[in-house]
């Protein structure tokens, strides 16, 4: 618990975040971040595609409080969409609203995301709006509501640690939804704190959405949950084209390949870019064993 809190607060440190940008991928981040530029990311995506794995691409970026930075992020994501298309890669986009200006102004953010969704729509490409902390939850759902008046290539994430996650899921059942346990530190009044409770709610949401929803992305590295899903879909005759498994780039690579080989749709979340620090610290907070990644880097020098 202590380590989790330390890494979580490190992830929110703006000074370390901006310092890290200057030095390229360090501390083992290179094994979980697919490069610092689009070319490197496309190469990683094509390698995964060659193994029957599709990708969702995240242009890393945090702490955006200036309009120009949000515009630069938008332009970069538009370039990623072009690169996916021109390289004929099997990939779509994941984006974070705060990187596109949600902390500056809602309409500014909506316009940035709309441009991205519009461009992706021209190539029949899906855009997932990642879910950040509770403070941004309602405005993120507002973005989805506003965008779906014009587009159907957009969906979002529901976090199982929230007590009322099922209410959100019921409301958004006709969307392509990624289900996760939840990565941020949230207060006990609104979110389960105990792993057992989070897992139980997660399974409840997955089962419900598999039976009632449009398309379910089950994003977890937890083999127990994955095995449970495999049995559940078999028992309920849920076809493989109704769901996919997702994991983060660089984690449990053998399991990723195994699931793809077994014929399940599998999608790897591919983060890339200079702004890797906060993302990497959150991965260490989730699972301090990920410190192995750091240790390997230090001792392999
Ligand atoms: P968890 O960390 O609970 O681990 C459960 C068990 O699985 C462990 O005890 C261990 O046995 C096994 N395990 C886990 N990792 C392992 C590893 N690397 N090697 C070996 N065994 C391992 N969150 C969010 O708030 N908003 C979002 O938009 C997203 N998006 C997202 C996309 C994708 C593709 C993924 C995979 C995750 C997210 N998340 C997220 C993060 C998510 O909420 C959650 O914090 C992490 O996935 C960690 O929880 P897990 O379910 O993976 O397993």
Pocket perturbation via mutation, ligand 1, pick of 287, 288, 293 by most ligand atoms within 8 A of CB: 287
Number of domains into which the chain is organized: 1
> Above 80 in pLDDT, residue 182?
yes
Is position 16 within any domain? no
Q: How high is the mean pLDDT of the chain?
A: 91
Does residue 197 carry a catalytic annotation? no
Q: Would residue 27 count as lying in a domain?
A: no
Residue 228 belongs to a domain with what CATH number?
Answer: 3.20.20.220
Does pLDDT of 44 surpass 90?
A: yes
Within a domain: 258: yes
Q: How many Å lie between the centroid of ligand 1 and the Cα of residue 181?
A: 7
**pLDDT tens readout for residues 86-96:** 999 999 999 99
Cβ of residue 218 lying under 6 Å from some atom of ligand 1: no
Whether 23 maps to a domain, the answer reads: no
In a domain, 173, yes or no: yes
Is the pLDDT confidence value at 188 over 70? Answer: yes
pLDDT at 22 over 70: no
Give the pLDDT confidence of 248-280 residue by residue, as tens digits. Answer: 999 999 999 999 999 999 999 999 988 888 787
∠ at Cα 246 (194, 270), nearest 5°? 110
Owning domain of residue 197:
34-275
Catalytic site residue 47? no
Distance from the alpha carbon of residue 220 to the mean position of ligand 1, in angstroms: 5
Q: What percent of the chain has pLDDT over 70?
A: 92
Q: Per the domain annotation, does 29 fall within a domain?
A: no
Please check whether residue 143 lies inside any domain of the structure: yes
When mean pLDDT is compared across 13-27, 128-142, 171-185, 199-213, the lowest value belongs to 13-27
pLDDT number for residue 257:
97
Q: Is the ipTM of this complex over 0.85?
A: yes
Say yes or no to pLDDT of 219 above 90.
yes
Cβ–ligand 1 contact at 216 (below 6 Å): no
Nearest CA to ligand 1 atom 18: 251
pLDDT digits (tens, 9 = 90+) for 165-179: 999 999 999 999 999
Confirm whether 7 is domain-assigned: no
Distance 11 CA to ligand 1 centre (A): 17
């Amino acid at each position: 618990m202590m380590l989790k809190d330390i890494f979580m607060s490190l992830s929110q440190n703006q000074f370390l975040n901006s310092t890290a940008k200057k030095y390229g991928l360090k501390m083992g981040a290179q094994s979980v971040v697919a490069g610092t530029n689009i070319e490197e990311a496309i190469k990683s995506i094509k390698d995964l595609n060659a193994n029957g794995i599709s990708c969702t691409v995240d242009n890393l970026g945090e702490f955006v409080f200036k309009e120009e930075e949000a515009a630069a992020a938008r332009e970069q994501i538009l370039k990623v969409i072009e690169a996916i298309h021109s390289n004929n890669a099997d990939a779509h986009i994941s984006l974070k609203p705060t990187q596109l200006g949600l902390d500056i102004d809602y309409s500014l953010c909506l316009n940035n995301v709309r441009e991205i969704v519009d461009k992706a729509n021209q190539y029949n490409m899906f855009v997932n709006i990642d879910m950040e902390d509770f403070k941004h939850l309602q405005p993120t759902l507002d973005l989805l509501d506003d965008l779906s008046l014009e587009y159907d290539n957009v969906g979002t994430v529901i976090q199982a640690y929230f007590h009322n996650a099922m209410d959100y899921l019921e409301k958004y059942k006709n969307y392509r939804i990624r289900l996760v346990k939840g990565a941020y530190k949230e207060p006990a009044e609104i979110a389960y704190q105990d792993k057992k409770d989070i897992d139980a709610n997660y399974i409840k949401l997955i089962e419900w959405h598999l039976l009632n929803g449009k398309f379910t992305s089950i994003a977890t590295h937890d083999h127990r949950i994955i095995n449970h899903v495999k049995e559940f879909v078999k028992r309920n005759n849920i076809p493989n084209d109704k769901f996919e498994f997702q994991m983060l780039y660089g984690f449990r690579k053998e399991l990723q390949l195994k699931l793809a080989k077994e014929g399940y749709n599998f999608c790897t979340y591919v983060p890339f870019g200079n702004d890797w620090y906060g993302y990497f610290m959150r991965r260490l907070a989730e699972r301090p064993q990920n410190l192995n990644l750091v240790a390997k880097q230090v001792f392999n020098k």
